[in-house]
Amino acid sequence: MSNAVAFMALWILFLGASCNAQVVASEFSKVDLSTTAAIHSRAVALARTLSKDFSKLSARAASLIVSRLEDHLSRKEAIQFWTGFTAKTERTSAPINISTNSSGRRLLQTTTSLPDGIYRISYAGAGPCQGKFLNYKRYDNKSPAKVNLAPFSSKNPVLWQVKNVPGKSQQITLTAINRASCCLQRLGYARPRTCSSTQVDLGTRLNGLRWKFNGISGQSNVYGLSAAIRTESCRGSKYLGRLAPTAANSARCEYPRNTITLASMRSSESILWRFISMAPPPPPPSPPPSPPPPSPPPPTPSSTPPANGFPSPPPPKTSNSPPPPIPPSPPPLPLPPPLTRKNYNQALELSWRFYRAQRAGDIPSNYPLSWITTSMTTDLVQPGWYDAGDTLKLNFPLGGTVSFLSWGLVDYKNEYDNVGYLSSSRDILRPAVEYLANSYTGNRTYVGQISQPSVDHQFWGRPSQYPIDSLPRVPYIWSQNTTTQADLLGSVAAALASASMVYRDVDRSFADTLKSKAIEIFQWGTESEGLYSRVYPGPASVYPSTDWADDMVWAAAWLFRVTGDTNYLNYAINYWNRGSPNPYSCWDSKWAPAAAMLVSLADTGTAVPGIDTYRAWLNSNFLRAWLQPDGFWSIKRTPRGMVYPTWSKWGNLRYATTAGMVAAMHAKTNPDAAQKAAELAFARSQLDYALGAATGRSFVVGYWSVAPQQAHHAGSSCPNMPQPCDWEQFRVNAPNPQLLAGALVGGPEGEKVNFNDPDNSYVDLRNNYNGNEPACDYNAGFATSLIAVLANI
């Protein structure tokens, strides 16, 4: 069994033992199935302590698992693995209870009998396995109706033949293939849409993607349209590309037996459709040569990106004209002049201005952004920043954001003062710091999150017009009773400790309060080791933590700097030795920032326990991976110069610029002149890429003539009052009416989307949250890298 499959099995072991069925499916859908030998070995050790009872896995989990396996294995391999894995828990005629989704989505409403056809089960809950019926709850939660099932086929474990469905009005969680005579139809979130023989509306997926087909030709059959990608050969075309069936060819765009025109080319999961009454297909073009497979990535925080996508609007109407030829790659954009100190200064000011647009709570009448108004004043904790393009308040990633920004303000205080942004940056940062501090009420009680994605992402519009009555903003509280939250507490303790150093010269009382809360929260963390996301796995799945020790190391380093107490340095090396460091600096991985800070302390005369460990890891892992990006730790450089982990397609510029931050901050005290120069050159190269110097396209809103116009950000997509703003505004294909100045978007999605030209994998559309959504943590590493580079030119 390959590493990928073995690790996937171990992950299911873990989830099946600790979560209910919906959580299993939700968590598994975000797991990256590839792994390094070191992570795989660690997973083996972990699995030995977990239950091996797979009975809690539902048919929804099975469906998602097979779909997920197909990203890495052939269909045959995927089915062989799954059928072998579930042989003792799945039966030929096993029924599955279908429960309604609390968010009201993925519900099929019928007022007539469902036609015979093949159906794919979605959102199945765990239930008894007796009889030969598919049980489903009615929408009014009265006694369930029954659907006869044809014999279960081990060759296709996720498909069921449904017959004789009662014709009463009901809502069930099935994603269906309607076997109508005139069209194909996905029966999705609400009532079925009407369609004609030349138009097929495939509905929306939970992550906000919609497909519309036109002029279909081909043979009547069932097709798995799996993971369409934008590769060099099919990027920008109107043909549906289908992934090759083997892992080795997983990035190759092939053409199916039929030709399909479509309005979008974005998908990441299998959806099955029945094609009815089709004409013979035209000869397909020759597929491009297959690239070599990328290096297998470890299962890191970045392989489980935040679930902060939104439902998508309907696609534009398509015509009946023949499909156009595949267009060539677009010509390169003109490059800006070489960047100077003036450019970095402008970018730094913009990077902080973005956070003004994220402010929640009461807004002063003289606020610099007229389109930002008072919002969410009924939240349990005030004021705060909204996480990204939504209105979630998420303390775990916000802790990393605040500590990264504070790092620059503390270590480069004089440079901030020289460029004139010290006072304004403190003012902008303060609402986020106050929110993190106000969330701790003492007595081992912490409000770690307000609202959750499944609720918040039903809304698109101005935060001030959020419908609090219909979409309540629930606060999620961690306490002594929840027992595992060291990652959350460590992240917050580091934020408060670092912020206390930012404000101690201007507001000593506030700084002392932050310091005392940081000390108390850290101590609580030492007594509640474990992952915060295990407490509320659904709500916290938007930023699920993968380790807690890195946050405690990071917090301990800051608390030493604040207090001078060397006991914190002992805590740091203890937690370091208990974790599994990785070089992907972000909201979920503080290993590299912590190592860089501790090495810098040693380089300036502090006796740091474990310094040889930190220094060796920093040189042989972090700096080796990012400064020599040849695939070590799966980190590579694109042809135009973006350095990123190749397993990621979400927020890649966040990884690049935050790694640049770590390198530049370490360079400040690095006695090795050659290495210092290389670190600063790397940091500057990633800033230059983000600002458009390498591609002619800036990825910072408001910087350079070619910059993001349709950032995935609800508030900035709204016109001026009193014009309405809702999902209709999301559908408008035009620049955002409000300038979200300084927002760093995710950027190119890399070789997972366009293997041959990873620099050309960015799309400036509002529904592209992978590459076109900003977030608080993106700008944090970006801003601190900017101030560090400014100080050295």
- Active-site residue set: 712, 764, 773
CA angle 521, 525, 527 (to 5 degrees): 125
Q: What are phi and psi of 512, to 5 degrees?
A: -65, -40
Q: Which amino acid is at 729?
A: Q
246 is written with which tokens? 């083997």
Q: How far apart are CA 591 and CA 613, in angstroms?
A: 12
**CB count in 10 Å sphere of residue 172:** 29
**Residue 98 in contact with residue 119, Cβ under 8 Å?**
no
DSSP string over 80-134: HHHHHHTTTT--TT----B---TTS-S-EEESSPPPSEEEEE-SBPP----SSEE
Can you read off the two tokens belonging to residue 714? 């609800």
DSSP annotation of 246 reads S
Q: How far apart are the first and last CA of the chain?
A: 52
- What is the rounded CA–CA span in Å between residue 465 and residue 748? 32
Burial track 707-746 (b if 16+ CB lie within 10 A, e otherwise) = bbebbbbbbbbbeeeeeebeeebbeeeeebebbbbbbbbb
* Residue 661 neighbours by CB distance under 10 Å: 30
Is the CB of residue 470 less than 8 Å from the CB of residue 456? no
CA angle 15, 16, 19 (to 5 degrees): 65
The Cα–Cα gap between 139 and 144 comes to 10
Task: List Cβ neighbours of 176 (8 Å cut-off, separation of 6 or more).
Answer: 108, 114, 117, 119, 120, 186, 187
Please give the Cα distance from 648 to 654 (Å, whole number).
11
Q: Which two tokens stand for residue 109?
A: 């409403």
CA distances from 292 to 35, 489, 616 (A): 17, 42, 32
With 0-12 / 13-18 / 19 or more C-beta atoms within 10 angstroms meaning exposed / middle / buried, residue 558 is buried
